[in-house]
Amino acid sequence: MKKIYIFLMSTILLMSSALAESITIIPGGKPGGSSFHRATMYQEVLQKMGHTVKFENISAMTEATKYLEDRRGKENVIIMFASNQPAQMGYYISDNNFVFNEYSAPYYWCQSTASIDKKKLIVGLDKNMNQKFSDKLFAKLGKEVVYLRYKGSGDLYNAVTGGDIDVMFTNQVQSLKLVENKQGTCIANTDEETANGVPSIYSIVKDGTKFPVMDYPIVSNNTSDKFRKILLEANKDPIFTSWRQKGGLVEIVGKKSRKSELKVVEVRQHLWK
């Protein structure tokens, strides 16, 4: 009986070893931002699942994607990506790098409480964000605008709460955090519908301009079904589900096929140009 037990345990260990992967995680963002936080969640959960994980702390997306491509076929690399990145750097989401879409959410214009009555606003944008979307909104509101650029959502949040800017145009997680902490309110969101009590930009700007919704895919140099299943399984962990729930994000992970998800994301990435 003892021999049978040892044999079974050895078999299980061998199977686990065969299923385990070595995975390199790149945040593609700075500490304090949602991309970096998600990367640390993947690190924790994948290690818990028995995989060997390496964390490459690369915040510059051009450097991150170069690392991914240089190690194609040699090392499994994943990056926390966003659908506005291709318009900024020319690295497009495609069948060659798309694994799955973790979540989708509108972008929001949110304003500090202290700046509500100002006629001239300092508006914070991501480093390479196209300002035409904000130009449309503030022209319609009759506001004079000066833009400042920041590296990521964490920096934008710190800037608006610290009084360096009056308005930030950023992701849903940081926007709802501002409202939840009673440090400001949101003016509009880029979806076609009211989201989290915030009006749609289409109720303000009615000239036919198409505003983008942000997709947050995981890109990798390994797009196999096996590797996708590993990452989808990781997303079932309460660490991920509770974080998305707190951020008011709809659960979409694994709900559609890779092909269906990619079709939507490929189209929407071009709206950020």
Per-residue pLDDT for 15 more than 80? no
Q: Is the pLDDT of residue 186 over 60?
A: yes
Assigned token pair, 189: 């969101």
Contact 107, 189 (CB under 8 A): yes
Note the pLDDT of residue 19.
Answer: 57
207 secondary structure, DSSP code? S
- Average confidence (pLDDT) over 122-137: 94
3-state secondary structure 58-118: CCCHHHHHHHHHHCCCCCEEEEECCCCHHHHHCCCCCCCCEEEEEEEEECEEEEEHHHCCC
Average of per-residue pLDDT values in the chain:
92
Residue 178 parent element (H or E): helix 172-180
* pTM summary value: 0.81
Element (H, E) at 146: strand 144-150
For residue 152, the model assigns a pLDDT of 85
Q: What is the mean pLDDT of residues 118-132?
A: 93
What are the pLDDT digits (tens) for 152-178?
A: 889 999 999 999 999 999 999 999 999
What is the C-alpha separation between 24 and 100, in angstroms, rounded? 17
How far apart CA 55 and CA 185 sit, in angstroms, is 36
pLDDT digits (tens, 9 = 90+) for 57-106: 999 999 999 999 999 999 999 999 999 999 889 999 999 999 999 999 99
